[in-house]
C-alpha cells in the first residue's frame, strides 16, 4: 500500500510548522506499518495533547486523541479489552514524561503490549516554547528567560529502570533507522519505547541558536553514535542510538488470560 493510503488526506494540511521533525517521525512510523503489512483496521493509535499528539488525527487507523499525559492509560484500556489490536502511542516529551510520567512508568512496569513513541523535541511547542523535563540545564525557553536550571533525565534509562522490555532511540536524521526500530517495537511482545529526537526549529532551535531545521538535523548526526560505539567511551556527552533493551518477559494481556483460565476453573 502506498504511504498516502495510510493518511486521512481530507484533514490535510497538517498543523505542524515548516521544518518540524514530527512529519519525519510520522513517515518512519507509516513505513514501519507498511513493511509489517498491518491492516489499518487492526491498529489503534492513542495520543495525548501537544504537537506530537496531533499525529493521530492524520492517520487512517482507529484513533483516540485523549488528554494531556494520559494516552497510555486510555491505550491500556483499549489493549487489555481487545488484545488482538495493535496499539501505538505517539507522545511528546512533556506529555509522556512530565504530566504523564506516572502513567509512563507504570505502563513500562506492567509490560503490556503497547508501542510508545516518544517524540523528544525538548520543548512544549504547542504552547509556545516553555522548557520541558527534557530541555536540560542551560537551555533558553519562554519560562526560562535566564536559562533553565531544571535538570533533565534520560528517557532510555528511565524506561529501562521501569521495566520496559524493548527500549530504543533514534533521531529524525536517521529516519530509516527510526522506521526499523519502530517496526521491531511493534513486533515486540511487551511494552516498547522508542525515543526519537525530533527538532522544533520554531521554539527550541531559534531560542537556542541551533539554526534552521536542516542544521538541527545535521546536529543529530554529530551528537549521536550507534550503541556500543568506541566514540562514546571517549566522549560521554555523545548520545547513543539503537536498541538498548530487547528481552522476553511475561506480557500483561497474556498473563491476564491465565488469570481468567484460573478463575473459571474455580
Partner 1 sequence: MSTQVKFVQGNEACVEAALYAGLDFFAGYPITPSTEIAELLSRRLPMAGGKFIQMEDELASICAIIGASLTGHKVMTATSGPGFSLMQEALGYAIMAEIPCVIVDVQRGGPSTGIPTHGSQGDIMQARWGTHGDHAIIALTASNHQDVFAMTIEAFNMAETYRTPVILLFDEIVGHMREKLVLPEPGEMPLVERLRTSVQGGVNYHPYLPREDGRLPMSDFGGVHRYNVTGLYHDMWGFPSADPGVAHGLIRHLVDKIENRTNQLARYKEYFLEDAEIVMVSYGSAARSALHVVKNRRNRGERLGLLELQTLWPFPRDIVREKCAQAEAVLVVELNMGQVMQEVKKALDHPEKVFLANRIDGVFITPTDIRKILRLIQGKGV
Q: Which residues bind partner 1 (CB under 8 A)?
A: 8, 10-11, 40-42, 44, 46, 56-57, 60-67, 70, 73-82, 84-85, 102-103, 105-106, 256, 259-260, 262-264, 266
In the complex, least distance from residue 140 CB atom to partner 1, rounded to whole angstroms: 30
Q: Which is nearer to partner 1, 73 or 97 (CB)?
A: 73
In the complex, least distance from residue 46 CB atom to partner 1, rounded to whole angstroms: 7
Residue 194 to residue 181: CA distance in whole angstroms? 7
In the complex, least distance from residue 76 CB atom to partner 1, rounded to whole angstroms: 5
Classified as helix, coil or strand, 174 is coil
Q: Which is nearer to partner 1, 107 or 168 (CB)?
A: 107
Output the nine-digit C-alpha cell for 254: 497474556
- CA 254, 256, 260, 262 torsion-angle sign: positive
In the complex, least distance from residue 266 CB atom to partner 1, rounded to whole angstroms: 7
Q: Which is nearer to partner 1, 14 or 232 (CB)?
A: 14
Q: Which is nearer to partner 1, 57 or 242 (CB)?
A: 57
In the complex, least distance from residue 99 CB atom to partner 1, rounded to whole angstroms: 10
Burial class of 210 by CB neighbour count within 10 A (0 to 12, 13 to 18, 19+): middle
Q: Which is nearer to partner 1, 180 or 251 (CB)?
A: 251
In the complex, least distance from residue 7 CB atom to partner 1, rounded to whole angstroms: 12
| Upstream peptide bond of 243 is cis (omega within 30 degrees of 0) | no
Task: Give me the phi and psi of 59, to 5 degrees please.
Answer: -100, 145
Q: Which is nearer to partner 1, 49 or 178 (CB)?
A: 49
| Segment 30-37 long-range contacts (CB within 8 Å, at least 24 positions apart) | 30/3, 30/6, 30/59, 31/3, 31/179, 32/179, 32/180, 32/182, 32/183, 32/186, 33/6, 33/186, 34/1, 34/3, 34/6, 35/179, 35/183, 36/183, 36/186, 36/187
Residue 33 to residue 46: CA distance in whole angstroms? 15
Output the nine-digit C-alpha cell for 129: 516554547
In the complex, least distance from residue 173 CB atom to partner 1, rounded to whole angstroms: 30
Q: Which is nearer to partner 1, 99 or 197 (CB)?
A: 99
Closest CA to 30 of 51, 16, 45: 45
Amino acid at each position: 500500500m502506498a504511504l498516502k493510503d495510510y493518511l486521512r488526506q481530507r484533514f490535510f494540511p497538517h498543523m505542524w510548522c515548516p521544518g518540524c521533525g514530527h512529519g519525519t517521525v510520522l513517515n518512519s512510523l507509516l513505513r514501519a506499518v507498511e513493511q509489517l503489512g498491518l491492516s489499518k483496521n487492526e491498529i489503534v493509535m492513542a495520543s495525548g495533547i501537544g504537537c506530537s499528539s496531533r499525529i493521530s488525527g492524520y492517520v487512517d487507523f482507529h484513533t483516540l486523541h485523549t488528554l494531556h499525559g494520559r494516552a497510555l492509560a486510555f491505550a491500556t484500556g483499549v489493549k487489555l479489552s481487545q488484545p488482538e489490536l495493535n496499539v501505538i502511542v505517539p507522545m511528546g516529551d512533556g506529555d509522556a514524561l512530565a504530566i504523564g510520567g506516572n502513567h509512563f512508568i507504570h505502563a513500562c512496569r506492567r509490560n503490556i503490549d503497547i508501542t510508545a513513541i516518544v517524540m523528544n523535541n525538548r520543548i512544549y511547542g504547542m504552547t509556545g516554547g516553555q522548557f520541558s523535563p527534557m530541555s536540560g540545564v542551560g537551555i533558553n525557553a519562554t519560562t526560562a528567560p535566564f536559562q533553565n536550571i531544571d535538570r533533565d533525565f534520560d528517557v532510555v534509562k528511565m524506561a529501562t529502570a521501569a521495566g520496559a522490555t524493548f527500549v530504543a532511540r533514534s533521531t529524525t536524521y536517521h529516519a530509516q533507522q527510526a522506521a526499523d526500530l519502530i517496526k521491531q517495537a511493534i513486533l515486540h511482545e511487551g511494552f516498547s519505547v522508542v525515543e526519537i529526537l525530533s527538532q522544533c526549529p520554531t521554539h527550541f532551535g531559534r531560542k537556542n541558536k541551533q539554526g534552521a531545521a536542516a542544521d538541527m538535523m545535521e546536529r543529530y548526526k554529530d551528537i549521536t553514535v550507534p550503541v556500543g560505539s568506541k566514540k562514546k567511551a571517549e566522549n560521554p556527552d555523545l548520545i547513543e542510538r539503537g536498541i538498548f533493551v530487547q528481552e522476553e518477559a511475561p506480557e500483561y494481556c497474556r498473563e491476564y488470560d491465565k488469570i481468567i483460565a484460573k478463575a473459571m476453573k474455580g
